[in-house]
Amino acid sequence: MEAVMIRIMKESDYDQVYELWQRIQGLGIRSIDDSKEYIIRFVKRNPTTSFVAVENDSIVGTLLCGHDGRRGCFYHVCVEPPYRKRGLATQMAEKALEALKQEGINKVNLMAFIKNELGNQFWQEKGWHMRDDINLYEYNLNPNNITTFNQ
């Protein structure tokens, strides 16, 4: 068995990445934002900050990361259940944080659904702080961009 390798996400990873996302319980997938066209656009805009965990040419973990020049943001951080508790999400997060530092970004945000107990516990154990001094607002410019949650 080959060791799991963490590397920068490539455009050609999309099909495997999307298949993984569909298998992750509770992950919210947007009909447009998570489409091949939009994820490739995201990776092109952020070519050094998103990562995948790969074993035997199979993607077993993802971390989308981008920034707007001021703040970084993590999206769709997930690891296939049999590969959890091996430090893969931590390694991907560390690589993304280092990539953001290299680009002069000083702060990173992420959103975790309240019901995502596993994810919330993970981030809190890693030293991330849940803010209670702001409200998150969303305005959907495209009503066709619907989120569905994996069961």
The model's pLDDT over 17-54, given as tens digits with 9 standing for 90+, comes to 999 999 999 899 999 999 999 999 999 999 999 999 99
- pLDDT value, residue 1: 53
For residues 121 and 80, give the distance between their C-alpha atoms in angstroms, rounded to a whole number.
Answer: 17
Helix (H, G, I), strand (E, B) or coil at 72: strand
Question: For residue 78, which of 125, 24, 18 has the smallest C-alpha distance?
Answer: 24
Residue 48: C-alpha distances to residues 8, 9, 51, 101, 117 (Å): 6, 8, 8, 11, 29
Residue with tokens 């993802």: 62
pLDDT of residue 45: 96
Please tell me the distance from the alpha carbon of residue 58 to that of residue 16, in angstroms, as a whole number: 7
pTM for this prediction: 0.92
Q: Where are the alpha helices (DSSP H) in the chain?
A: 14-23, 36-45, 88-102, 117-125
Q: Do β-strands 108-110 and 72-79 pair in parallel, antiparallel, or remain unpaired?
A: parallel
pLDDT of residue 116: 87
| pLDDT at position 63 | 98
Segments of the chain scoring below 50 in pLDDT: none
